[in-house]
Structure 1
Amino acid sequence: MFQIKLLTRNLVIILFGFSGIVVNINSYSVVAQTEASEPLAIPQNDPLLPPNNINRELSPLEKKRIKTEIETLEIEANSQLEQGQQKEAFNIWFRQLRLYRAISLSEEIIALGRVGEIAWQNNRGQELKVITQRLDSIYQEQKTNNNVTAKLLNILGTSAQQTRNLDNAIAIYNTLLTQARQADNIQLEQQYLETIGKLYLDKFDYSQAANIYEELLTFNSGDITTTATEEYLSNLIDIYRYNKQPQKEIIVKKQLIDYYQAQEDNQKIGKLKVSLGDDYQTLGEIELAIESYQEAIMLGQSFQQIALTSETLAKLGRLYQRQEQYTLAIATYQQLLDVQKQAYNSYGVMNAYDRLGRVYLILEDYEQAFTAFTQGLEIAQSLNYQVGYFTDLIDQVEMKIK
């Protein structure tokens, strides 16, 4: 009887032990499933961290061990990424992020931004989504607890930029901008406006970007570096071009020309003059377009900018031709021919002869057209390029002469 009771007792103990194992297996299964679906959203079991049900401050020794492990994990993750094992690399980075979460909120945010940028660069959409959700969760938690400091907002803003969460980044920097204005901190206000302007450009939201850069230009020139002034004006020119606002573009280009004149940077003025001429043509203001092109040509010649001079002469010649001012067109193309010869640009010389011949054809001056095309053919033969083109033109002219 005693043996039967002992056997029964042992069976109960064994069965109880098995049930415990089943419970533990189920528990680990639940954790594993949760980690796979929400790897950063819940407290994680890690051999370097206390169990989840123990809430206490980590000791200096524990933190030191964790930081050492973080450095090791960084090396391992980068190695996996270099080998093309992206999934494995991000699994390692996610453990690293959980360890950062245990030791420092600011370090976690910085690490989230860094790993998120890698995810974006490698088209890892799911990992990027997990990281941006964690960053948003941190922001909301800190707002709820009234712990949103300027330092926290700055690192959150940087991480939002790195993870390409541009709307969040703009919202964060707008908050910082409001704080800077309330504190009457002009330097920080300018800094945050610059950041917001770049974010709107990254979003291709040119209307909002224009508002920002227009506001930046209202700052006293003594508070803005010369590089910043050039950047603001250049960005506005690009924005107005994208928005197809040539009149506003012209206004800002004139401001940039004034800026370059103050800096005595004459070489950049010529390109802007050409660009202004293009804008005036778009608006149908032909006389102003001609004036701008002529000013650009003078600058190009003064500073021996052969490419600029050639480009502008070609544009001016075409404009005269469209306006049926053929005498001026011929004079301009002759000038272009001289510039190309001085530059020993055979292709340029050949094209200049072609332009001249075409104008002479319009004027029915076939002798001059024949001469221009023949000279163009000589260059074409030396280059072994467009020989047939010039030969056909000469044949057409000869038929007219006969």
Structure 2
Amino acid sequence: MVKYIKLKRFSAMITAAMLWQFGCSVTLAQSKDPQQADRFPPSPLEITTPDPLLPSLPKKQPLSLAEQQQLQIALDELNQQATAKLQAGDKKAAFEIWNRELRLRRYLGAVGEVQALSRVGDIAWQQSDRQQLYYITQRLQTIQKQAQPKKSKTQTNIDFPLLQALGVAYQKVRSPKPAIEIYQQILAVVRQQQDTSAEIDTLKTLGELNLSWFNYPQAATAYEELLNFTTARGASQDELTYLQQLAYIYQQGKQPQKAIEVLSRLKAIYSQNDDQTQLPSVQQAIAANYEILAQENPDLLEAAFTNYQQAYQTAWQLQQFARAAEALQKLIPLYRSQGQIDAALQTNQILLETEVRAANYYGMMQAYDQMGQLYLDKKDYPQALTAFQYGLELARHIKHQEAYFTQQIETVSKLNQ
């Protein structure tokens, strides 16, 4: 579907999703996986040796406000030292300092520690440091487990700022699965608070996270809810974005009927706009989904034909000749599959003219090849031979598939004797 709908923002999101998935394969940070745990030494974040930056206190006694402020200053300095080491090319020393900082951050509270883990985790991902990512994600999971409230009918005992910090941190270390779990909890909280703005933001995050993990049903649920919000508020630009995203999701999730419903709404929107440049793409996408449905219900094949024809006509009117050629290229095999060879040949002739308009020599060569195959279906060997000869001329011009067309000409010449 992405090849049908050109939306820079959405394309960027999909690209980011693919990078995210790559990141997930790098981290693999699940503390319950003994094989993963055996890969790395014990976590430096769990070292218990007393640190000189900590005052001598009785066991479990919290730091005073003055001590916390002093420690905060010292930890900020450690962060600066680690950054300088990394910039100087000493990655090992940098993460040793950051790990010391992270060990001490827990004395300033869980939220501050998670924010620091998030910051360093992002750096570790950028440096492709799997070991450091594992340590940080393992610590985040421990904090998450400790923060889980006891079962209750209300969410009042949840540390909401900590949940938010954990959600961001899991995103920074490119660990979508636990991030999704956290944002589901956040969604429950903001719904209970009836905070519509926060609910919309959380649904957006869940939609993107589920897409990054290729969880299409869950992503669809999030964007369907966002679409409902948008429809109620009359936000046309957001509606357009969510419809495009849902069309992509339904296509990837192999739900052609739902894809058609969403694409039909997009078609109506584009038809009313002054700028209709996206309309041929949507018409072609609708046709492709009808073609899929027609495999089970042949009565829907006519709808596929109609929408491909509309896509071609609209693209031609808009002088989108490459797009018009795409629609025709879909129509020809469809006619051929139904035994309508004459209709396929007529369409192929239009395709040839379209490729000439687009100055697409490769497309012209392919059109002559297809024309030759169609004439072979009719056993019209002289016409097939002529088509392949024209194809060979173009093949020589672009220096591509010359041997193929030469072979076709030799074969058809024998049949034509």
Counterpart of 1:181 (choices 184, 187, 191) is: 191
Whole-Å separation in 1 of the counterparts to 2:113 and 2:69: 19
Q: Quick check: 1:282 aligned with 2:292?
A: yes
Q: What is the TM-score with the length of structure 2 in the denominator?
A: 0.77
CA deviations on 1:199-234 (whole Å, 9 max, x unpaired) are 222333222222222222222525374443233323
SS state at 2:56 partner? coil
| Maintained 8 Å contact 1:201/1:209 | yes
How far apart, CA to CA, are the structure 1 residues paired with 2:292 and 2:268?
Answer: 23
Structure of higher RCO (CA pairs closer than 8 Å, 6+ residues apart): 2
| Closer/same/farther in 2, CA of residues 65 and 288 from structure 1, 3 Å limit | closer
TM-score, normalised with respect to structure 1: 0.80
Distance 2:355 2:149 in 1: 70
Instruction: Tell me the equivalent position of 2:316.
Output: 301
Q: Specify the alignment match of 1:337 in structure 2.
A: 352
Pairwise CA distance, 1:169: 2.4
Q: Is contact 1:233–1:252 with CA below 8 Å preserved after alignment?
A: yes
1:78 to 76, 86, 90: 86
Counterparts of residues 72-151 of structure 1 (less than 5 Å): 72-79=80-87, 83=89, 86-103=91-108, 105-142=110-147, 148-151=158-161
2:411 and 2:147 map into 1 onto residues whose CA distance is 81
| Separation (CA, whole Å) in 1 of partners of 2:402 and 2:357 | 23
Q: 1:130–1:224: structure 2 CA closer, same or farther, 3 Å change rule?
A: farther
The aligned amino acid for 2:336 is Q
Quick check: 50-59 or 339-348, which moved more? 50-59
Unaligned 5+ residue runs, structure 1?
Answer: 1-35
How many residues are aligned here? Answer: 364
Q: 1:48 aligns with which of 45, 53, 56?
A: 53
Larger-Rg structure? 1
In 2, Cα distance between equivalents of 1:126 and 1:388: 53
Structure 1 or 2: more helix by fraction: 1
Question: Is 1:360 matched with 2:375?
Answer: yes
* Counterpart code for 2:165: I
Amino acid at match of 2:78: I
Distance in 2 (alpha carbons) for counterparts of 1:61 and 1:380: 75
- Residues 61 and 221 from structure 1, CA distance in 2 versus in 1: closer, same or farther, beyond 3 angstroms? closer
Contact 2:54 2:71 in 1 (8 A): no
Of 151-160 and 391-400, deviating more is: 391-400
How many Å apart are 1:297 and its aligned residue?
A: 0.4
How far apart are the structure 1 equivalents of 2:348 and 2:315?
16
Distance in 1 (CA, whole Å) between partners of 2:84 and 2:397 is: 61
Matched, 1:254 2:261: no
In angstroms, what is the RMSD of aligned CA positions?
A: 2.8
Cα gap change, 1:120 to 1:224, in 2 (>3 Å):
farther
Deviations 1:85-115 (A, max 9, x none): 5443321111122343344543322111121
CA contact (8 A) 2:210 2:218 kept: yes
**Alpha-carbon distance in structure 2 between the residues aligned to 1:144 and 1:263:** 51
Cα 1:49–1:329 shift into 2, 3 Å? same
Q: CA deviation at 1:126?
A: 4.2
Q: Distance in 2 between matches of 1:369 and 1:315?
A: 21
1:328 aligns with 2:343: yes
**Structure 1: which amino acid aligns with 2:314?**
L
In 1, Cα distance between equivalents of 2:173 and 2:393: 59
1:38 and 1:130 in contact (8 A); partners too: yes
Secondary structure of 2:379's counterpart equals coil
Where do residues 167-316 of structure 1 align in structure 2 (5 Å cutoff)? 167-223=177-233, 225-284=235-294, 285-316=300-331
Query: Take 2:69 and 2:251, find their aligned partners in 1: how far apart are those partners?
Result: 59
- In structure 2, list runs of 5 or more residues that go unmatched: 1-40, 151-155, 295-299
3-state SS, counterpart of residue 217 of structure 1: helix
